[in-house]
Structures are given as C-alpha cells and as structure tokens.
Amino acid sequence: METILARAAAIFALVFAVQTLPAVGVSSQYLNVPFAIAIAVVLFGLMLVVSVMAALNRGGTQPTHIVMGVFTVVYTIALALWPAGLLRGASEVADQPWLWYLITISMIFAAIAFSPRWAALYVVDITAVYVFIRTQPAGGSAPVVLALLDGFYVLLLGAFALAVITAIRAAADRVDAAQGTAMEQYTRAARNHAAEVERAKVDALVHDTVLSTLIAAARADTPTERRAVVQMATAALETLQEAPYAFDVAVDVPVARLSERLADAAQLLSPRIAFRSARLDDTLLPGAVAEAVFTAAQQALINSLQHAGDDTDNVIRTVIVDSDPSSGLTVQISDTGRGFDDSSVPAARLGLRVSIRERVQAVGGRVKVLSVPGGGTSIVLEWGPFR
C-alpha cells in the first residue's frame, strides 16, 4: 500500500508539473533569473527523483519518503523566499505565481512522508505562509478576506489528502493485523495437528507392540508360548527403537501388493482367517495410505483374535479387499464373534480409537464400525476414490 501511495503521488506530481511548465517559462519576466532557475531545477528535479524512485521501489518506500520530505522543506523555503526573488515593479505580473500550483503536491508529499501529526502541522503552517504572501505585493496584494478564502481552499485540499492517506494506511494496517492473526492461528493449528498426528503415531506404535506383547505374555501358559512371547518382546523393543514402516511412505504402492501383504499378515495371525480379494489391479496408492490401511487392518484382526472369541468358539473371520477407481479402496475385516457396543468403549482403549480410526483418518480415509453385542463385528476401512 505504501508503494501504491508513493507511485500515485509521483504521477500526480508529474501531471501538475507538466501543467506548470508554461507558467515557469514566462517567470523570467518577473523573477531574478538565477532565483528562477534555481527553484525550478531543484523542485522539478526532486519531483523527477521521487517519480523514478517510486517506480523502481529499490530498498522499499523509505528512500522515496525521504526525498518527499526534502521536497516539502525545499518548497517551504522557496515559498518563503518568493518575495525576495521578484524583480522591482513585477508584482502585478506575478499575481498568480507558478509556485502556487505546487502547494498541493507539497502537502500530499508531507502526508505520505511524515506522521499524521507532523503532516497536519505542515499543512497548517504552509497554508499560513501562503495566506501571508498572498496579502503581499509579491503575491498579488489580495485583500485579507480573499487571501483567507484562498487559504481555506488550500487547507481543505491538504486536510482531504491527509485524511484519505491516513484512512488508507489505517485500513492497510487492519488488513495486515488480520493477516498476521490468521497466519498465527494457522501456524498454531498446523503445529497442533502435527503434534496430534505424531501422538497418534506413537500411541498406535506402543499399542501395536508393547500392549500386544503384554497381552500375549499374560496368556502364555506353555514353554513354547513363553518362548514366542520373548521373541515378541525382542521384536517390540526393536520396533520401538527403529519404528519401521510396512511400506515406504515416500513410494506409491500397487493395490495388489497391499492385498498380498494383508493376506500374508492374516495367515501369520491365524491360518483360519479367510481372505478374499476382488477387482485388484495395478492402481497405485500413496505409500502413507498403504501403510496406514495395512497397520489398521492388522490391528483390527488382532482385536478380533483377542476379543471376539477363540477359533474353538467357531468364530469365522474374513478379510475382503476391494478396489475400484470410482469408489476407491475398501478393506473389510469381519468376524462372527461376541461383538461390542462401539459407544461404550473406554477412551483409554487405544486399539480402535488410535491404531485404527486415527491412523486411517490421518491419511484422509474413513473407518466404519459395524457391531452389536452378540452379533459379530465388521470394520470397514475406506480410502479414495483414486485420482
């Protein structure tokens, strides 16, 4: 906004300067030539410098503001010295000096270069100097009432320019403040989201490894089972230390490859788990999605094995993988076991909430839990459609 104000003021100054050139050309009739040349060269030169600096905007607007401030000071000095530069007997010819035309430019420059308080003081002071000279022979010997009326118009123009520039700056400051607040809120939200994702990842990792190992240890009765638990504990420690992924999250994974890994995991957990796939092709999944779906499905199977009932209870477990470009990926883990009430699961239980729901939702997926006490359970993991 400061750049726009500086450039607008520079264009305005150039337009006024061009309109003033004819009057400057005849000023030699009533001005001392050295004085006429000096004020014309300095004032028009400063306006040209302001225009070039505003157009280039090198180093920001601060250098442009400095040159504008210099122009206001030089203009005030030139206006005060105007009577001294007149030739004798030339007051009638100099009734409307060309310097009058630049007073609006000077006030606009002051409004941009100075603070509102100093700019307002400058507008009042330059108006007072103008009214005084207007009543003198060098300014046309205008009556006091006419000089005050002209001064009122000058003051009105300066006050209007100052009010507009101040209002624009205030609006820009409000926009900057709003943008800063929005960016701060966005940064805080992004930080909180990243922390939440990391927390969910750690919670899921702890649940999938440590808690599963502890549950297996509690159920280990035979020496063979105890040796298996020791191996699980060792693997759990390695997992916590290295936190490996089933899939490389930076590499896309074919849906068929994910299906194969799920089939292998199901067979390792229990040979009696039925696995079925449909409509699989070489469609690629983002690595992070494949990782999340795989680990969530694995956790759903572990939950079923731990809570739905033993194989001896005639519990049937199935895994179905389906892929369709229009609807996306669907993985359904079902059993005919005890079932449960989803709303009654304690918040401290991390398996369903963190290892399944939050893990899949973190990659833009959806989780449906279909279960009733005594009626079995079906966990549906969805992601897509594919792009």
What is the pLDDT, as a whole number, of residue 240?
47
Reply yes or no on whether the pLDDT at 296 is more than 60: yes
Measured at the CA of 122, the angle between CA 120 and CA 125, to 5 degrees, comes to 110
Percent of the chain with pLDDT strictly greater than 90: 16
What is the pLDDT, as a whole number, of residue 271?
80
Taking only the tens place, the pLDDT of each residue in 63-96 is 888 989 999 999 999 888 887 777 655 554 555 6
CA distances from 234 to 215, 238, 264 (A): 15, 6, 21
368 DSSP β-pair partners: 380
- Select the CATH number that applies to the domain covering 249-383 from these four: 3.40.47.10, 3.40.50.20, 3.30.565.10, 3.40.250.10: 3.30.565.10
Reply yes or no on whether the pLDDT at 107 is more than 80: yes
Taking the domains of the chain in order of start, what are their residue ranges? 2-182, 249-383
CA distances from 136 to 42, 56, 130 (A): 25, 42, 10
Q: DSSP character for 85? A: H
Taking only the tens place, the pLDDT of each residue in 52-69 is 888 887 767 788 889 899
Please tell me the distance from the alpha carbon of residue 156 to that of residue 179, in angstroms, as a whole number: 34
Please tell me the distance from the alpha carbon of residue 240 to that of residue 207, in angstroms, as a whole number: 11
Reply yes or no on whether the pLDDT at 128 is more than 80: yes
